Structure 1
Amino acid sequence: MRHSIPILEICTLSGMRNSDIVVERFSSYLKRHKNIHSSHRHNFYHMVFFTKGSGFHSIDFNKFKIQPFQIYFMIPGQVHSWNFDGDVDGYVVNFTAEFFQSFLLRTDYLESFSFFNGIAEDGVINLNENLEAPVQDLFEDLITESSVDNSLQKDIMKVILLRLFLLLKQQNLKKDIFQQPSYTLLRNFQKLIEKHYTELRLPKEYADLLFVTPNHLNALCKTVTGLQAGELIRNRILLEAKRLLVNQDMSITEISNVLNFNDNSYFTKFFKKQVGITPEEFRRNVVDRSHN
């Protein structure tokens, strides 16, 4: 199947075949990669800490205003683009999904951080004033350590990153739903959606896989996320539809087939009900924005 948008690989950005982490000052990163402002995906974890600049960045078609001491996180597969206003600077860190796996007994440890849950709004954090200096110091430590060539380099960088993640988690601890016991069930539901959203459309089908009642699943989703279980399923289908619509080479019929809709008209009706415009109008809007 044709990819909806370009997928960047970490080895391409680092220039090294076996690289599993890239740390760089953001201004030099942009100078080396002049063509990555338009929509693209990564096959790695991606984080940027802004210390200077303004403009906007888009994550999964959600638009965020850039400001100093803002940090954003993305997981593999998410779509994003940049539209900077003037000079920007800060730090960028890219690392593979395997980077922490040989270091931590819990291979799903990164999933305990809400900013790595794949929800665009949760991946953008404006630092509290008391964290601005400590966080910047940690990024400087990463820059320093990235230039050191010894057997402990990567483990030290992992420790620095974990320190950074825990500081940010501590900032959001009071409102972090990921601390609630019910989160495990919700996260398992989200994983199942990610795996089956083109085939399973009903909350009952997921409830059966989770060995809970549909009412219990729906109540959990409503309490924790504010959305019904069915809305979470539809939102994932809708997100993939938007990602696919970015590809001008794919027809609406092809996208409808990929998403397992019975026919093109049903897909169009579904999309317009959720977004308020047709897939064709959404595609035109994306093209118009990319040329402005």
Structure 2
Amino acid sequence: MDPLARPLPLPVHTFQPDDATGNPLFTLVRLEGALVPVPYMLLPHRKDYYLLFFVKHTSGRHWVDMTPYAHQDNTLYFTNPTQILVNEELAPAWGTYLGFTREFLALQPTAALQDLPLIQNPHHGHQLRLNTTEAAFVEQVLAHLETEYYRPGSWQHQLLSAHMSVLLTYLSRLYTEQLPGPDAAADQRVLTAYQAKVEEHFREVHEVGAYANLLNLSARQLSALVKAQSGKPAIKHVHERLVLEARRLLVYSEQSLKEIAFGLGFSEASYFSRFFKRETGSTPLEYRTSRPPRKMS
């Protein structure tokens, strides 16, 4: 069955703690040629938590936000709660995956990790290719995490946080190397804060001036800083986020164009259609109906 053959509902699968440790915010599973026995993975879905999957070896292909990814060895796949995933098949895998919730990142001392590029994911990326040295380092940190994960107690969160800080910081450096921005070395605190506000409010707030008020800046200040730090006008970040969500809903949901338009804060479906065509070159209906068939392998 083609994972993009028809619009489908968008189930959101919640974080499931591992009974072995009872940790309500963090889970880690090592796979040694096993299948992940989760049938819903073959249907489009979101997860309400962050997922990292270091793949040593597997086969097949999956999709994230309408983009196909052929599985590759020594690759780190990562998703956040906004992205839509669907697997074409369940194949044996060798590697380690870990999941953690927003609440895990909100606690001290992990709260600062929320600002890292891998977590913010401004490019809406999904994979990092690792060379032999990088893969060995990631495996080593994952081994430390696994040891602490199976040692529940009063010190567990602090030690998991310490190893997660190393892992996410290291992967964030790779993220900026493989998905570089115009000025990856610059202080990007304003850009990070702006992108976080856009992610939080894009459905109802479409004006740069409103975001400037939320950040206690003038619209002129915000526009200049965002353009300098990202290379794109501030309004472009809002438009790109609206288009991404519209594309997700057009492909994966059964909502009407009117429902999608109103859900994204447009007062008229016709205005949404004009906006979408201006940004993508096709109308929403053309985009929904003109997707080429893709058969599962």
Residue 98 (1) aligns with residue 103 (2): yes
Residue 51 (1) aligns with residue 56 (2): yes
Runs of 4+ in structure 1 deviating by more than 6 angstroms, as ranges, are 15-18
Who is 1:130 aligned against?
133
* 1:198-277 to 2 correspondences below 5 Å: 198-277=203-282
Q: 1:21 to 1:290 in 2, by over 3 A?
A: farther
Q: 1:14 to 1:282 in 2, by over 3 A?
A: farther
Q: 1:164 to 1:283 in 2, by over 3 A?
A: same
Who is 2:3 aligned against?
none
Instruction: Output the amino acid matched with 1:221.
Output: V
- Cα deviation for residue 71 of structure 1 reads 1.1
Give, in whole Å, the separation in 2 of the partners of 1:282 and 1:211. 38
Residue 5 (1) aligns with residue 10 (2): yes
Q: Can you give the 5+ residue segments of structure 1 that lack an aligned partner in the other structure? A: none
TM-score w.r.t. structure 2 length? Answer: 0.80
Q: 1:287 to 1:171 in 2, by over 3 A?
A: closer
SS in 2 for 1:36: helix
* 1:176-187 to 2 correspondences below 5 Å: 180-181=186-187, 183-187=188-192
Instruction: Output the amino acid matched with 1:147.
Output: Y
Give, in whole Å, the separation in 2 of the partners of 1:137 and 1:204. 46
Q: Map Cα deviations across residues 5-54 of structure 1 (whole Å, 9 max, x no partner).
A: 1111012x746987221111246774321331332111111111111134
SS in 2 for 1:250: coil
Q: 1:253 to 1:91 in 2, by over 3 A?
A: same
- The partner residue of 2:168 within 165, 170, 187 is 165
- Cα deviation for residue 282 of structure 1 reads 3.1
Q: 1:192 to 1:35 in 2, by over 3 A?
A: closer
- Cα deviation for residue 217 of structure 1 reads 2.9
| Greater alpha carbon shift after TM alignment, 41-50 vs 185-194 | 185-194
| Greater alpha carbon shift after TM alignment, 81-90 vs 32-41 | 81-90
Instruction: Output the amino acid matched with 1:41.
Output: R
* 1:12-91 to 2 correspondences below 5 Å: 14=18, 19-26=24-31, 30-83=35-88, 87-91=92-96
Q: 1:31 to 1:85 in 2, by over 3 A?
A: closer
Give, in whole Å, the separation in 1 of the partners of 2:12 and 2:166. 29
Superposed CA RMSD: 3.3
SS in 2 for 1:260: coil
Q: Can you give the 5+ residue segments of structure 2 that lack an aligned partner in the other structure? A: 1-7
Give, in whole Å, the separation in 2 of the partners of 1:237 and 1:47. 25
Give, in whole Å, the separation in 2 of the partners of 1:173 and 1:243. 25
Higher relative contact order, chain-length normalized (CA < 8 Å, sep 6+): 2
Residue pair 1:197, 1:236 contacting (<8 A) in 2 also: yes
Q: 1:161 to 1:205 in 2, by over 3 A?
A: closer
- The partner residue of 1:143 within 146, 163, 170 is 146
What is the count of residue pairs matched by the alignment? 286
Higher helix share goes to which structure?
A: 1
| Greater alpha carbon shift after TM alignment, 234-243 vs 220-229 | 220-229
SS in 2 for 1:68: coil
Identity %: 26
